Structure 1
Amino acid sequence: MPSPYTRKQRKGAMLVLIILLFCFLAYALRGFITSFFGALIIYTLFRSWHQKLVEQRKWKPALSTTMILIVSFLLIILPVGIVVYQVANQVVQLVKDPTVVTGIIAKIQHYPLYQKYVDPQLLQDQLSRIGQVAVNIFGTTLNGLANSIATISVMYLILYFMFAHYKAMETWLMQYLPFSPRNSYQYADELRNITYSNVIGSGIIAVIQGALVGLGFWLFGIPQPFFYGTIAVFASFIPVIGSALIFIPGSLFALASGETGHGIGLLLWGFILVANIDNVLRMVLNKKIGDTHPLITFLGIIVGLPIFGLTGLVIGPLLLSFFVLSVQMYTRNYLSKPASEKELEIKIVKEESTDSTQNPSDRKEDTDTNK
């Protein structure tokens, strides 16, 4: 019995079915999207190491994969998890303790400049809002850490198969990605540069700035320098205003406490050393690793933080960078005219301009010659 559907109808129905199944799977696995991006980041960072161990040193893929998974956990996951947990716990306890906030307000309200120019209720309202934001961000992270075992387990499960079968996976991607082989390799190189820039470059700058902020707090007698230096590491991912979110309130606290010299010293320390080290390091690292525009980083953080929490500091800019790269490649490959067509147009324009500038007598001689 012949089928009641044409080949075109069957093709359309199959495409709709594939899209529906993909949407269903994406919705069902939405809770593990962080696992996928985490696996992609770690794979990009350690792929060259794995390739050298397997292809040059002739290690077995399973052995190399196991070693890289252990190293990545000890160097990245474990330290970051411990630090984030400690900082989140302290932030929540700090904001929930009313004596801390009221003590800061009392000290600042006795400062002469505050009594002269500032509304007494303004500071209390602003501190309450800042505290609530801190509780929301770090409180969510604290609760997420308690339930992150499944996320990390899925991430490492994905990583294991990515590393153990990296050749088959990359061959499959090259086959099904909608790019030519040359564009696929270019896309892979750009993704690697973007990942290195956002993860390694921004991470190095953030750690150095956080250490300098903590050192400044210690030198100028601000309490808990390690705690606020650690917070400055996360704040430093935000372009332009990052570390200033920490050392400016610290200097204001010192001024309100009557330590005018310490407050001014910390302010100068922050703007002269901490803020400028960002520009110097970024210039050096951009030559070694790759450049990501600060606006992409800033907008990526705005997108990433509400969805991924603190991991959005890295995943958000990566996603936005991937989007910009995809648009650039699409424009270059499908909207721009091929080089041969451009050269033909340039040649035609030159010939027309030559004909238009030629003397009438010359054109007449050419006509007679042709005759």
Structure 2
Amino acid sequence: MRAKLEQRSFLFMLMLVTLLFGIVLEPFWGAIFWSCAISVIFYPLQQRLSSKLGNRPNTASLLTLLASVVIVVLPVLLIAASFVQEGVAFYQRIDRGEISPARFLEEIRIAFPLLPELLERFGVDLENIRQKLAEAAVAASRLLAQKTLTAGQSTLSFIVNVVLMLYLTFFLLRDGHHLTELLVKALPLGDERERMLFRKFSEVIRATVKGNILVAMVQGALGGFIFWLLDIPSPLLWGVVMAFLSLIPAVGAGLVWLPVAIYLYAKGDWIAASILMTYGALVIGLADNVLRPLLVGRDTKLPDYVVLFSTLGGISLMGINGFVIGPLIAALFMVFWGIFMREFNFTPDRPE
């Protein structure tokens, strides 16, 4: 009796201390998650370097970390800085009245006179939409101005998180295999199941991060190029916006180039509008329809609709990190249920 009480008390304290430790690390969850993701992606490179350098794990891990900084971290930082600069300039033009979303909507209404009547049949008030767009533009400008005032604190926090992420990545690259073995020993799920779960974790992280980021880069570059070619203002800004939106499967970049093409039709620029519409559907859309299933769906072994819903749900709940965490949770959900059906959900013999 005493032994059971001691065991239960210990397990309770173990869960309590683990929960408290998780709360202590809460401000750094993003840095820890991306450190794990980068470590998983670049671990094969670290293994190759280790085999070539011999028994020098610190050197191999440091070289791998430098490669990850050059390939991933620096390009993301440069794109983010350019996006902020272009975004500030764009919203300043909105604030000065040089760009008016309400005026754009009015031009579309004039160009397509049947549109208001069609929208009214579906209960959509075009005048209300125009007013909401104007209010949203002003609110966005005001919000950006407030964010600019606190940019110093945000920048310092961001730099601290990046440094901590890189610091932890070095140790995960060097000691990741040993940490995995410790987790296998510590978790009471069965070694074979735990190794299967860790393999699935690595597969999904590699597929979603590499696949989604590659698709985002391709679609953003293609979108920014056609906007620059057609002399549409702020092509870099819209290219980065399309890259971020392309993290949403199926619809992503079309949320940018399709309304712009409609607006060009409304202005009477039929050639540019037709070029953008054709290019968006065939070229930008092709990157999503071909690359994403190959890079994400095939490696994660998830159906396209599961990838779509888990990505949207992950982003809505966890922000930008959700485009990886959502499909990861979906993949682990399917693995757990697969194990359950294979090992536990047996059918008893029926009496004849």
Instruction: Name the TM-score class by shorter chain.
Output: 0.7 to 0.9
State how far apart, in whole Å, the 2-side matches of 1:178 and 1:233 are: 41
Q: In terms of mean alpha carbon deviation, does 145-154 or 299-308 score higher?
A: 299-308
State how far apart, in whole Å, the 2-side matches of 1:129 and 1:294 are: 33
1:270 aligns with 2:280: yes
Higher-RCO chain (CA-CA 8 Å, sequence separation at least 6): 2
Residue 133 (structure 2) aligned to one of 122, 126, 131: 126
> Residues 1-371 of structure 1: matches in 2 within 5 Å?
6-55=2-51, 57-95=53-91, 97-100=94-97, 102-111=99-108, 112-114=110-112, 117-118=115-116, 119-126=126-133, 128-129=135-136, 144-285=154-295, 289-305=299-315, 308-318=318-328, 320-332=329-341, 334-337=343-346, 345=349, 352=352
How far 1:100 sits from its partner (Å)? Answer: 4.9
The share of aligned pairs that are identical, in percent, is 20
- C-alpha distance after superposition, 1:37-58 (max 9, x if no partner): 1111011101112122224541
- C-alpha distance after superposition, 1:183-236 (max 9, x if no partner): 333223222221122011122222111222122223333222222112111111
**Letter paired with 1:232:** M
Q: 1:135 to 1:229 in 2, by over 3 A?
A: farther
State how far apart, in whole Å, the 1-side matches of 2:103 and 2:258 are: 18
State how far apart, in whole Å, the 2-side matches of 1:209 and 1:132 are: 29
**Letter paired with 2:22:** A
State how far apart, in whole Å, the 1-side matches of 2:319 and 2:85 are: 15
Q: 1:107 to 1:15 in 2, by over 3 A?
A: closer
State how far apart, in whole Å, the 1-side matches of 2:141 and 2:157 are: 20
How far 1:335 sits from its partner (Å)? Answer: 2.8
RMSD between aligned residues: 3.3
State how far apart, in whole Å, the 2-side matches of 1:38 and 1:109 are: 44
Give the unaligned 5+ runs of structure 2: 117-125
State how far apart, in whole Å, the 2-side matches of 1:126 and 1:269 are: 27
Runs of 4+ in 1 over 6 A off after TM superposition: 133-138, 140-143
- C-alpha distance after superposition, 1:136-178 (max 9, x if no partner): 7996997755411222222223222222223321221221233
State how far apart, in whole Å, the 2-side matches of 1:33 and 1:242 are: 26
**Letter paired with 1:213:** G
State how far apart, in whole Å, the 2-side matches of 1:239 and 1:127 are: 29
**Letter paired with 1:163:** L
Is the partner of 1:237 in helix, strand or coil? coil
Q: 1:37 to 1:135 in 2, by over 3 A?
A: farther
In the alignment, which residue of structure 2 is the partner of 1:358? none
Q: 1:137 to 1:54 in 2, by over 3 A?
A: farther
State how far apart, in whole Å, the 1-side matches of 2:277 and 2:101 are: 18
How far 1:321 sits from its partner (Å)? Answer: 3.2
State how far apart, in whole Å, the 2-side matches of 1:290 and 1:184 are: 17
Q: 2:39 touches 2:169 (CA, 8 Å); kept in 1?
A: yes
From the CA coordinates, give the structure whose radius of gyration is larger. Answer: 1
State how far apart, in whole Å, the 2-side matches of 1:100 and 1:64 are: 55
In the alignment, which residue of structure 2 is the partner of 1:359? none
Is the partner of 1:147 in helix, strand or coil? helix
Q: 2:208 touches 2:327 (CA, 8 Å); kept in 1?
A: yes
Give the unaligned 5+ runs of structure 1: 353-371
Q: 1:133 to 1:327 in 2, by over 3 A?
A: farther
State how far apart, in whole Å, the 1-side matches of 2:304 and 2:138 are: 27
Q: 1:182 to 1:17 in 2, by over 3 A?
A: closer
**Letter paired with 2:176:** Y
Q: 1:131 to 1:325 in 2, by over 3 A?
A: farther
State how far apart, in whole Å, the 1-side matches of 2:137 and 2:8 are: 53
**Letter paired with 1:165:** D
How far 1:289 sits from its partner (Å)? Answer: 4.1
State how far apart, in whole Å, the 2-side matches of 1:10 and 1:255 are: 75
State how far apart, in whole Å, the 2-side matches of 1:322 and 1:315 are: 10
Q: 1:152 to 1:42 in 2, by over 3 A?
A: same
Q: How many pairs does the alignment contain?
A: 338
State how far apart, in whole Å, the 2-side matches of 1:75 and 1:313 are: 20
